[in-house]
Chain A
Amino acid sequence: GIQVEQSPPDLILQEGANSTLRCNFSDSVNNLQWFHQNPWGQLINLFYIPSGTKQNGRLSATTVATERYSLLYISSSQTTDSGVYFCAVRSGGTSYGKLTFGQGTILTVHP
């Protein structure tokens, strides 16, 4: 099956700093989503982005499908950004909704 690797595994920032999280995948995809799991365990959908670039406030994401990677940018980080960020993909030939998740990037933002 498709492999999803996220980097870095851990990231510690001071409030106000910017960061880039990366997601590499091993096959072509027709669905890619970024999620934030907050410290209470809630899973929040950030972007549906199988290709192209999207922005939502301080967050933006870019997926270069031909090169099999996606980037999540967080600008002016805040303590509420802490948590785990997951990239999840679906490759062709798998049933819809069968997402493969990466292991996540644990982000800690200090005040």
Chain B
Amino acid sequence: NAGVMQNPRHLVRRRGQEARLRCSPVKGHSHVYWYRQLPEEGLKFMVYLQKENIIDESGMPKERFSAEFPKEGPSILRIQQVVRGDSAAYFCASSAGTASGNTIYFGEGSWLTVV
């Protein structure tokens, strides 16, 4: 999967707690994307970030979810006051650019379980 690193791989949170998921893109990639996979479903786009900027957040829930990709360090997907419905696999992806031909590489996912 071309080096997109996600952690933690598995995270258990009680309802009302906060979940933070981290993603380090492929070295040299400045475009990061987050997707969510609910049980038995395909992946759904959440947000597209480029260094320090949110480019497209059309798939992000309006409340409790936020994402950042700072100048230094990994991208973070933050879910506040988690609920059972947030239980899902969260995948991060990256690309080198946005011109045609740039493959989008996915990480191995972070599995969030809310109990």
Contacts and interface: CB of A to CB of B under 8 A. Distances in A.
Interface of A: 30-31, 33, 35, 41-45, 48, 50, 86, 88, 95-104
B93 A97 contact: yes
Contact of B106 (A31, A35, A98, A104): A35
Question: Interface size bucket, B side?
Answer: 20 to 34
Contacts of A41: 89, 108-109, 111
B45 A100 contact: yes
A33 B104 contact: yes
Contact of B98 (A43, A48, A96, A102): A96
A97 B33 contact: yes
Interface string B88-115: 0101010100101111111111010000
Interface stretch (B15-23, B36-44, B61-69, B71-79): B36-44
B1 A45 contact: yes
25 contacts: A31-B104, A33-B103, A33-B104, A41-B108, A42-B109, A43-B91, A43-B106, A44-B1, A45-B1, A45-B103, A48-B101, A48-B103, A50-B100, A86-B42, A88-B43, A95-B48, A96-B95, A96-B102, A97-B93, A98-B45, A98-B48, A98-B59, A99-B43, A101-B42, A104-B42
